[in-house]
Amino acid sequence: MSKGYFTFVLHSHLPYVIAHGKWPHGLDWLNEATAETYIPLLDALNKLVDEGIKPKIIIGLTPVLTEQLADKSFKEEFKVYLAQKIEAAQIDEKEFVKEKQEHMILLAADWIKFYKSIHDSFIHKYKEDIVGAFRHLQDTGAIEIITSAATHGYLPLIGDDTFVKAQVRTGVKNYKKHFGKSPKGIWLPECAYRPRYKWAYPLSGFGQPKERAGVEEILHDENIDFFIVDSHLLEGGKPVGVYMDRFKALKTLWESFEKNFDCQSLPAKPRTSNKIYMVSSANGKKPVAVLTRDLKTSLQVWSGEYGYPGDGNYLDFHKKRFPGGLRYWKITTPKSDLGSKMIYWPKDVPQRLEENAAHFAGLVKSTLMDFYNKNNSPGIVVAPFDCELFGHWWFEGPRWLYLVIKGLSQDKDIELATGTEAIERFAPTEIISIPEGSWGEGGFHWIWFNDWTKWTWQSLYEAEAMMKKALADSGAVEDKHGLLKQLAREFLLLQSSDWQFLISTWSARDYAELRFSDHLDRFKRLYSIIEEYLKNNTLSHEDTVFLNDCQKKDACFQEIDIKDFA
């Protein structure tokens, strides 16, 4: 019998960028992630399968990302992107030859080889079907794919349960479309959870406090068996963030939760992330299983101070050679500025990868053995990460994943298990309640709700009221032009949590503000067109042109069902 279980959870997500810019913000985000993360990850997983190892990792593919990866326009643009990268490396190589920089010549040749390999995998191995490649791995039992909210909406702050349900239900239906079955698990955007309690809007003018369903209740209604949370929601007590006293509205949110959530239901005995629990915040409601991030192992990767990706031998993410944008320098030290970065030496990497992978595997085993020895029963280590960390941010990351999974697969005491398999093994029965929070900085909602983003929530809550009115006014009127469906698409895109994240982190602030405003303008214009159409039953030429433009530019979720928003 195994003495413990292990699984990686890799959350893959990008906002909808097709037809919304290319470089530096837009489609090239998707091109970069595909070339540097998704295809290298697929190659690593398939290599393990070829060696007789089922990786048993959990892959989260958000519906909005899946829609883009399956889009024909992306597939054509991606091939152009790869050709441009190969050409850029070839230009660099010629310049290095002229300058007689022998080592740089070799590095440029490595980039040519890398992008040609990615091109070969994309065209020949995966037949230009990234989604299908992941589906095949799931269908053969190598991995488990989980869904997410349709556009990665920040569920705890959405003002009405109907629209939380719409995000989840649209995500479930989209999963069925692409993967041919119902999802068993879900990645809550930003691992953000809210239990049942009398919730109050964080902004004034939107009504009185009202009883809200716990997120897990909505998941249960959609037949979701499990979700993932950060460790502090399970082990750390009240997730009062470091920004609570700096922002009044955030403090108001917390006080509303603390006042109305039954904290007596939180058991006094300690909990551990190495067990699987059932979560319920409503009496008589069927609970949903929760997998919890193991903090010790996760910090070995996430930590900027001592995490593996910060090793000085690995390829630096920030320093690039222009105009091609290729990278030729190593991290050197975590505190090295761009001017002091040293040249990258690939030959120094394999040994460090082996050491880092062995260290991580050892940490997993010691954690599981400690749990087993104390409890005389197996435990689990769940290691969730943003998928794009591996390959895009940490270039060598997919190779590290391969080594870790291979090493753990050879340990007789550890069983690799997907989320569904782990729940079947554990058959959890202990029902608990967990508090509101996320895996964002501070543990609560600060990253997504603050002085910089408050205006977006004002607009979102106003849009919710407009969405309700448009549906109520339309009644049984046939949506023969697709006006309501497009209104719903713009509404979902408006709800994307990426806009608040990018605004708060200043990583692409102008782009995020522009995208949010663009979807808001489209939503309002469509709303006005619908109101006018209901009066006279005709569409003007100008309105028809606008609708067609929206349908072409924001063409995701063709299966969208307006009844899910009512």
Paired tokens of 535 = 């009066």
453 vs 304, residue with greater confidence? 453
104 occurs within a structural domain:
yes
What is the pLDDT averaged over residues 88-101?
Answer: 98
Among 127, 156, 171, residue at a domain's last position? 127
Q: State the pLDDT at residue 239.
A: 42
Q: Of the ranges 1-15, 75-89, 198-212, 249-263, which one carries the lowest mean pLDDT score?
A: 249-263
Examine the pLDDT at 445 and tell me if it is beyond 60.
Answer: yes
Phi, psi of 147 (to 5 degrees): -100, -170
Structure tokens that stand for 59 in this block: 């892959």
pLDDT score of 240: 35
- Residue of 291, 271, 221, 289 whose CA lies nearest to 429: 289
pLDDT tens, 530-563? 999 999 999 999 999 999 999 999 999 999 999 9
In the predicted structure, residue 27 carries a pLDDT above the cut 90: yes
How many residues can be counted in the chain?
Answer: 566
Task: Please give the average per-residue pLDDT across 257-263, as a whole number.
Answer: 58
Say whether 190 is catalytic. Answer: yes
Beta strands 379-386; 277-279: pairing state: unpaired
Residue 235 lies in a domain: no
Among left, alpha and beta (phi > 0; psi -120 to 50; other), residue 180 is: left
The CATH number covering residue 561 comes to: 1.20.1430.10
Residue 371 has which token pair?
């749990």
Residue 292 lies in a domain: no
Cα 48 vs. chain centroid, distance in angstroms? 24
Sequence-distant (≥ 6) Cβ neighbours of residue 259 within 8 angstroms: none
Dihedral-angle region of residue 6 (phi above 0 means left; psi in -120 to 50 means alpha; beta otherwise): beta
pTM of the entire structure?
A: 0.94
Closest CA to 164 of 443, 514, 497, 556: 497
The pLDDT of residue 334: 85
Task: Please check the confidence at residue 276 and state whether its pLDDT lies above 80.
Answer: yes
Q: What is the pLDDT of residue 246?
A: 42
- Candidates 190, 216, 230, 464; catalytic one: 190
* Domain residue limits at 476: 454-565
Is 464 inside a domain boundary?
A: yes
Tell me what pLDDT residue 238 has.
44
| Helix (H), strand (E) at residue 174 | helix 161-179
Q: Which two tokens stand for residue 249?
A: 């509205």
Query: Whole-angstrom Cα distance, residue 492 to residue 471?
Result: 15
Residue 395 tokens read as: 């270039």
Asked if residues 289 and 185 have their Cβ atoms less than 8 Å apart, the reply is no
Q: Do 483 and 529 touch, CB atoms closer than 8 A?
A: yes
d(CA 51, CA 44): 11
Query: Interhelix angle for 498-505 vs 509-536, to 10°?
Result: 150
- 296-348 confidence digits (pLDDT tens): 999 899 877 789 999 999 999 999 999 999 999 999 998 899 999 999 999 99
534 in any annotated domain: yes
Please tell me which residue, 185 or 283, carries the higher pLDDT value: 185
Residue type, 113: K
Instruction: Tell me whether residue 128 is one of the annotated catalytic residues.
Output: no
Q: Is the pLDDT of residue 88 over 90?
A: yes
In a domain, 377, yes or no: no
Q: If you average pLDDT over residues 199-211, what whole number do you get?
A: 95
A 10 A CB-CB count for 236 gives 15
Q: What is the torsional sign of CA 286, 209, 435, 495? A: positive
Q: Are the C-beta atoms of 273 and 235 separated by less than 8 Å?
A: yes
Tokens at 258, concatenated: 């603390």
Candidate from 115-124, 217-226, 278-287 with smallest mean pLDDT: 278-287
Number of domains in the chain: 2
Taking the alpha carbons of 181, 182, 187, 188 in that order, is the dihedral positive or negative? positive
Concatenating the DSSP letter of every residue in 216-265 gives: HHHHHHTT--EEEE-HHHHHSSS---TTGGG-HHHHHHHHHHHHHS-GGG
pLDDT at 175: 99
pLDDT at 10: 98
Catalytic position from the list 77, 258, 354, 386: 386
First to last CA, the chain: 49
Pick the range with the lowest mean pLDDT from 52-56, 157-161, 462-466, 472-476.
472-476
DSSP assignment string, 78-122: HHHHHHHHHHHHHHHHHHHHHTT-HHHHHHHHHHHHHHHHHHHII
Domain stops at, among 127, 149, 168: 127
- Indicate whether 218 belongs to any domain: no
For residue 269, pLDDT beyond 80: no
Task: Using a pLDDT cut of 90, give the percent of the chain over it.
Answer: 86
The whole-number average pLDDT for the span 179-198 is 97
Between the CA atoms of 409, 411, 412 and 416, what dihedral angle is there, to the nearest 10 degrees?
-40
Which of 103, 127, 151 is the C-terminal boundary of a domain? 127
Q: Does 355 map to a domain?
A: no
